[in-house]
Every structure is written in C-alpha cells, then in structure tokens.
Amino acid sequence: MEHPLEQFHYCPKCGSPHFGEHNAKSKQCRDCGFTYYFNPSAATVAFILRQRKGGADAAPEEWELLVVRRAKEPARGTLDLPGGFSDTDETSEEGVRREVREETGLEVEETEFLFSLPNRYPYSGFTVHTIDMFYRCRVHDTEGGRAMDDAAELLWIPLQKVRPEEFGLGSIRRGVEKFLASFSI
C-alpha cells in the first residue's frame, strides 16, 4: 500500500511542487522549508449498554448493545457504533459525547476509556489514517434516542447476538471483537 504522504504533491504552506520526502514520517518543502509530519486524526467510538433484566450482577445475555446502521458511505447500510472524528479544540471525551448526541440524541453522562486501535478510513477518495479511541459510555435515558446525522437506524442488540462480521468498518469490527472477548460489568 502506498504511504499516506504520497497523496500530497504540493507544499500546504506555499503551494510549491518542490515538496519531497524528509524522512519516513514527513515531507519538506525545498522552497519555504516547511516540514509536514503525517499523524493520524483522532476519532471516538461509543459502547453503550443497557440491561434488559436482572439486577446489578446480570449475566452477559441480559445486556444489549446500542448499534447504528450507517446512513452514508463508506460501508453504508452496515452496522456501526456511535462515534466519529474529534473536532479541533475538543477533548476525546467531549468528542464522543457530541458524536453520540448528534447520531442518537442521547446524552452521555459518563465515559470510560477502554482501548484504541489504528484505522484507515476511506473518505471521498482519500484515505484518512485515524486512531480510534473506544469508550464505554453511560447515557441518561436508554429508552430515548433516534437515528440522526450519520445513523439511519438505532438498534439494541443482545450481546450474545452481536456479530462482529456485520460491522462494515475494520477498526469497529476489531473493536467489537475485543470488547466482546473481554466483556465485564
């Protein structure tokens, strides 16, 4: 696969075509001296659970996971988890709260960082390298919510029926596999 820096042919500062390899992580302009380091974009993903029955010690089969059906490409129509790119001047926790609100209308009360995974996200013919940060989120009202923004549909799926292969994006699929393998309340 082509290195992501190969997608950039002109200096983003002065527009010069003399924009070449500086090292494995950067390109440098021979005209203005600007050095561009290629780093991943920050993205967030939310695991939101609700209990179907039982008490505080409910078994995994008594829990449901909130998933969304993707309304847009890439992977339109496949399952996904609420989330998206973090905005400038926003913490990752603020980003996951905002993305959950935009896609589901639900308000996140608590976030717990779980793990991160690198990802390549195809967007408008461009490969965006991301670092996807997965959070377990508690929301105020699991009965509320509606599909909005990038979500075509909201679904509560019992954990034992969640199938990672139904998730269309690679890092989400891997994240769901990792979450299910280590699930604990």
**Res 56 pLDDT > 70:** no
What mean pLDDT is predicted for residues 170-179? Answer: 96
Residue 151's pLDDT is 94
Q: Mean pLDDT of all residues in the chain?
A: 91
Residue 167's pLDDT is 97
Residue 7's pLDDT is 81
What mean pLDDT is predicted for residues 120-132? Answer: 86
Residue 59's pLDDT is 61
pTM of the predicted protein model? 0.87
> Domain coordinates of the chain in residue numbers?
4-37, 41-181
Residue scoring higher pLDDT (122 or 28): 28
Homologous superfamily of domain range 41-181 = Nucleoside Triphosphate Pyrophosphohydrolase (3.90.79.10)
Least confident stretch, 10-19, 100-109, 117-126: 117-126
Q: Which long-range contacts (CB under 8 A, 24 or more apart) does 94-102 make?
A: 95/42, 95/44, 96/44, 96/45, 96/46, 96/133, 96/135, 96/137, 97/137, 99/44, 99/46, 100/46, 100/48, 100/137, 100/139, 102/148, 102/149, 102/150
What mean pLDDT is predicted for residues 116-132? Answer: 88
What mean pLDDT is predicted for residues 97-122? Answer: 95
Give the pLDDT band of residue 29 (cuts 50, 70, 90): very high
Q: 118 is written with which tokens?
A: 């690198």
**Res 170 pLDDT > 80:** yes
Residue 55's pLDDT is 55
Residue 143's pLDDT is 86
What mean pLDDT is predicted for residues 52-66? Answer: 72
